[in-house]
Amino acid sequence: MFTLINCIGLTASLTSFLLILSYIQYEISYDDFIKDKEDVYRINLVRNATGQKASAIGPPMGPALENDFSEVEATVRLRHANSVLVQIEEEEFYENQVFYVDSSFFDVFSFPLSKGNPDKVLSEKNSVVISEKLAQKYFGDKDPIGQFITLENDLLLKITGVLDTPPSPSHLDLAMLISFQSFEVPFGYPVTLETWGWTSFPTYVKLQDNSTAEAFNAKFDGFITKYMGEDAAKAIGMELQPVSDIHLHSQDISERDGTAQKGDITTVYVLLAVAVLILILAIFNFTNLSTMVSLKRIKEVGVRKALGAEKKAVFWQYSIESFLIAMASMSSALIVVFLANEPLSNFLGLPLLIESYFVQYWPLILGLTLIIGFFGGAYSSMKLANFTPIKALGNAEINQNNFFSVKTLLVGLQFFITIALIIGSLVINSQMGYLQEKELGFEQENVLSIQMNGQLLTEKYALTKEVFLKNEYVNNVTSSGEMFDGNNGSVPLVSRENQEERFRINLFSANHDFAKTLGLDILEGRDFSDQYANDSTGYILNEQAIEMLGWNQEEAIGKELILNDVWPGEVIGVVKDFNYASLHENVGPIILFIPRTHVDRIYIKTKDADQKAIISSLKADWQSLHPNLPFDYTFLSSHLDAMYGNDRVFSFLVYVFSIIAIILSCMGLYAAVAYSIDARIKEIGIRKILGASVAQISLILTKRFLLLILVAAILAIPITTIFMQDWLDNFAYRIDIEPIHYILGGLITLIVTGLTLLYRTLKAANSNPVSSLRSE
C-alpha cells in the first residue's frame, strides 16, 4: 500500500512541477525567435519630471537615429490601427491586430513568412502582409498572394506575403502588416509625420554587434537637443529596452494598444518558487514513505546479511528500487502532462507548447529523475544497509525521540512549505476578489460597446443614436474611442491664465451624454449635451486633473484651457476620479473632450433584461441602419474582465497547486506518524497496561507534530509576507495582508493535520497491548 501511495504522490508532484515549468517556459520565451535578439531594442520615452515611461516616440525619430548614428543597423516604426474595416468582395470584417510598419520590419523582427520574400513584401506602397489565420478566413484554400483587400472603404491593398506562426510567442499581437508608405494622418489630427511631439509610434532599433545599450543611451540627450531643443531635452529622455525584457519587465511602462497582455516577472518568480517547493515536498514524501516501507523490511535485510550479503549490495538493491519508482512516476507524470496539454492550454488561453519544451529539455528531465531517485532512496537505503543481522532480526527499534532528527526536519519543512503556500493562496484570492468587487467609478454592467468604422460613425451617429434610443431595451447612448483599458494618449495642457506652466494630461474622447450613460459621478458643472453648441470645445476634468492644475472644483468651471497647444476650450464639468485603466495603475489626470477626430465605439446602456433578447433586438436595429456592416459588439464588463487574464491564471495555478501541496504534506505526515508509531509500538502497549488513556497516548504521539506546526508557522509567516508584499506592489489598488490570512493559514493546516493524525493515532491507541508486546 505504501509503495502505491509513494508512486501516486510522486506522480502528482512531478505532474504539478512540470506543468508549472511549462507555463514559466512559455512566459520567458517571448520573442525568443528573433534573430540576434540581444541587439534588438525598443525605444522608450521618459518624462524626466515624473519618471513616467511610454513605449512610443515621434515618427521622425527612428529615421533620424538611423541617419545620425553608425551604431544603428536598422530601425522600424509601427503604428497600430484599431477597428479597421476590411472588405473582400461582398464581405466585411473588423480587424484590430493591424499595424503600419516600415519596410525594414523583417530586418529587425525575424517573423517567419509562409509566402513572400521578407526583403520585398513591404517595399511598395499599398502592400500588405496577413497572417495564416486571416488568409484562411478571407480566401479559404485559394492562394492569397496577389489578391486585394480594401480598408475603410478607401485604401486598396495588395497581399504580398503571409505570416507563418512564430516558434515562440511575441509581445507584438499582429495579424496584418501594411507598408508604412500607405499611412495617412487620421482625420482631425493637428500633426504630420514630421511632428516630433506626436509620440504614438512604437519604434525599435537594431544595433551593430559591437554596440551596447548603455553607450547608446548616453547619446540621446544630445540627439533630443539637436532636433527638439534644450527645453525638450530637459523635459524628456529616451532609453533602450531589450526586446527580450518587454513582456515581463514593462509594468512601469505605458504601452500602446496592439501589444500582447503584459506578463510579470514577479509572477514567474512566485510560480517558480511554488514549483520548487512542490518538488521539495515530493522528495521529502518519497524519503518518508520509502523509509516507512524499509521499516517493514528490516527482517528481510537481517536474513540477507546473515546469509552473507554485503552492506553495498543491500544499499544498491534498495537504491535501484527507488530509482525504478522515480522513473515510473516521471513516466506517468509525462503522460499526464501530454494528455493535459490541449485542455490546459485552452483553459489558460495559452498554447503551452509542451511537446517542444520537453524535446528540448529531455536531458534535464532525465537528470531530475535520477536526482529524485537518489535523494529519495539514499536515506532509507543507508539505514537498511547499516543494520547488523542481530539488530535486524531482533526487531530493534529506531530512536525517534530526537526532535532534531532527519525525519523530524523533513516533516517540519513540509509544514513550512504547506503553510507558506496556503497563506500565499489566501492573499492572492483576496486580492483577486478585491479587483472584482472594487468600484471603478463608472458603470460596467449592462453596457454594450459596438465597434464601427470611424468615418461612418461620424456621418451616421445622430441617426444611429436616435434609432437605438427608441429601442425598448435601451436607456442611454453615447460614443467614444476608449475602452477603459489604459490605451489613452497624452498631450500638453496649459491654462489660458498661466501659459508658462505646462502640464501633461491623458486624453479620453467622449460624446454627448457620456457621463450619464457610463454613470460617472459629476461633482461640479454638467455632462456634454447636444443642447449646448459650444460643448464641441468644452472639457470635463477629473479630480486628479484639478489637483494637478492647483484649482478647487468650484473655481474650475468656466476656466479656459489649451489642449495640445491647438485646441482652446472651456471647463464645463468636474467628475469624480474613475479607473480609466487597469487597477495595476493609479488614476492620473484625465480630460474628457468631444474629439475633432473619428471615434469607433458606440456605448449603449441597456436595461437589466435577458441578454439574448437585448442582442437580438439591437442587431435588428443595426441591420436596418447598416445592412453591410458587421454587428461587432462586446459587453464592457467582459472586456474589463479580460484585462486581468494573467492575474486569474496566476491565482488559479497557485490555488490548485497549494491544494496539491496540502495533500502531499498529509501523505508525508501520515508516513511520518505511521513510522513513529511502528517504532514505538511496544512503548504504546506498556503505557496502556500501566493505565494510560487513549487521549493521553494520542497526545504523546501527536505533540511533536503540533509543535512542528507552530515552529513552521513562525518561520513561514515573515517569508511569505515578503513574497506577497512584492506581488501586491504590482497593483496600484491592493489589499493589505491581514492577521486573518495568517490565522486561516494556520487553522487550515492544523485541521488537515489533525484529521490526518486522528485516524492513525486513534488506531494505535486503541490497539490490543497484548498484540503489541507479543514476542515475534
pLDDT digits (tens, 9 = 90+) for 425-445: 899 889 988 988 889 999 999
SS3 275: helix
Q: For 231-279, what is each residue's pLDDT tens digit? A: 899 999 999 999 999 999 998 888 866 667 788 898 898 889 888 888 8
Residue 22's pLDDT is what? 86
Cα 464 from Cα 468, distance rounded (Å): 6
Burial zone of 227 (CB within 10 Å; 0-12 exposed, 13-18 middle, 19+ buried): middle
The residues near 343 (Cβ < 8 Å, ≥ 6 apart) are: none
Cα 166 from Cα 254, distance rounded (Å): 25
Identity of the amino acid at 165: T
Cα 362 from Cα 98, distance rounded (Å): 38
Inform me whether the pLDDT recorded for 291 exceeds 80.
Answer: no
Inform me whether the pLDDT recorded for 67 exceeds 70.
Answer: yes
Inform me whether the pLDDT recorded for 771 exceeds 70.
Answer: no
Single out the residue of 645, 648, 610, 616 nearest to residue 633, CA to CA: 616
Rounded (5°) CA angle 238-96-248: 45
Going from the C-alpha of 440 to that of each of 312, 437, 520, 722, the distances in angstroms are 69, 9, 10, 28
Most confident stretch, 32-41, 362-371, 483-492, 499-508: 32-41
Residue 400's pLDDT is what? 46
The full DSSP string for 718-752 is HHHHHHHHHHHTT-SS-PPPPHHHHHHHHHHHHHH
Name the pairing type of β-strands 601-606 and 522-525.
Answer: unpaired
DSSP structural state of residue 57: B
Q: What is the mean pLDDT of residues 103-126?
A: 95
Q: What is the mean pLDDT of residues 1-29?
A: 83
Q: Write out the E strands in 528-594.
A: 538-542, 560-563, 567-575, 590-593
**Residue whose C-alpha cell is 454592467:** 445
Average model confidence (pLDDT) across the chain:
86
Single out the residue of 145, 104, 147, 148 nearest to residue 123, CA to CA: 104
Cα 141 from Cα 164, distance rounded (Å): 15
Q: What is the mean pLDDT of residues 630-656?
A: 86
CB 659 within 8 A of CB 281: no
Residue 497: band (very low, low, confident or very high) from pLDDT cuts 50, 70, 90: confident
| Backbone dihedral angles phi then psi of residue 290, each to the nearest 5 degrees | -65, -40
Task: Please state the separation of Cα 277 from the chain's center in Å.
Answer: 21
Cα 17 from Cα 316, distance rounded (Å): 28
**Residue whose C-alpha cell is 515510473:** 328
Identity of the amino acid at 673: V
Cα 186 from Cα 191, distance rounded (Å): 9
Q: What is the mean pLDDT of residues 573-592?
A: 92
Rounded (5°) CA angle 46-52-57: 40
> Residue 678: in which H helix or E strand, if any?
helix 645-679
Residue 723's pLDDT is what? 86
Q: For 592-639, what is each residue's pLDDT tens digit? A: 999 888 888 999 999 999 999 999 999 999 999 998 888 999 999 998
The set of cell numbers assigned to 85 is 474595416
Cα 88 from Cα 148, distance rounded (Å): 7
Cα 540 from Cα 528, distance rounded (Å): 8
Q: What's the N-to-C CA distance of the chain in angstroms?
A: 23
Residue 776's pLDDT is what? 46
Residue 308: band (very low, low, confident or very high) from pLDDT cuts 50, 70, 90: low
Cα 583 from Cα 581, distance rounded (Å): 7
The full DSSP string for 383-445 is HHHH--HHHHHTTPPPP---TTSHHHHHHHHHHHHHHHHHHHHHHHHHHHHHHHHS--SS--T
Cα 22 from Cα 355, distance rounded (Å): 10
Residue 140's pLDDT is what? 92
Residue 205's pLDDT is what? 97
Identity of the amino acid at 322: S
Cα 21 from Cα 35, distance rounded (Å): 25
Task: Please state the separation of Cα 353 from the chain's center in Å.
Answer: 17
Percent of the chain exceeding pLDDT 90 equals 44
Name the pairing type of β-strands 91-95 and 127-131.
Answer: unpaired
**Residue with more model confidence, 39 or 319:** 39
Residue 142's pLDDT is what? 93
Count of beta carbons in the 10 Å neighbourhood of residue 503: 16
Residue 436's pLDDT is what? 80
Task: Please state the separation of Cα 448 from the chain's center in Å.
Answer: 26
Residue 707's pLDDT is what? 85
Going from the C-alpha of 609 to that of each of 451, 606, 635, 695, the distances in angstroms are 22, 8, 14, 60
Cα 397 from Cα 682, distance rounded (Å): 9
Cα 396 from Cα 706, distance rounded (Å): 27
Cα 421 from Cα 745, distance rounded (Å): 9
3-state SS track over 65-128: HHHHCCCEEEEEEEEEECCEEEEECCEEEEECCEEEECCCHHHHCCCCEEECCCCCCCCCCCEE
Identity of the amino acid at 650: F
Residue 182 — left, alpha, or beta (φ > 0 → left; ψ -120 to 50 → alpha)? alpha
Name the pairing type of β-strands 155-163 and 127-131.
Answer: parallel
Q: For 701-759, what is each residue's pLDDT tens digit? A: 778 778 888 888 899 999 999 988 988 888 888 999 999 999 998 888 888 877 777 77
CB 23 within 8 A of CB 341: no
Name the pairing type of β-strands 53-54 and 253-254.
Answer: parallel
DSSP structural state of residue 154: T
Q: For 159-218, what is each residue's pLDDT tens digit? A: 999 999 998 899 998 999 999 999 998 888 888 999 998 888 999 999 998 899 999 999
Residue 82's pLDDT is what? 79
Cα 554 from Cα 559, distance rounded (Å): 10
Q: For 524-538, what is each residue's pLDDT tens digit? A: 999 999 999 889 999
**Residue with more model confidence, 1 or 664:** 664
Q: Write out the E strands in 452-589.
A: 474-480, 490-495, 498-509, 522-525, 538-542, 560-563, 567-575
Range of lowest pLDDT (286-290, 337-341, 405-409, 729-733): 405-409
Q: For 392-415, what is each residue's pLDDT tens digit? A: 555 544 444 444 466 677 778 888
Residue 761's pLDDT is what? 73
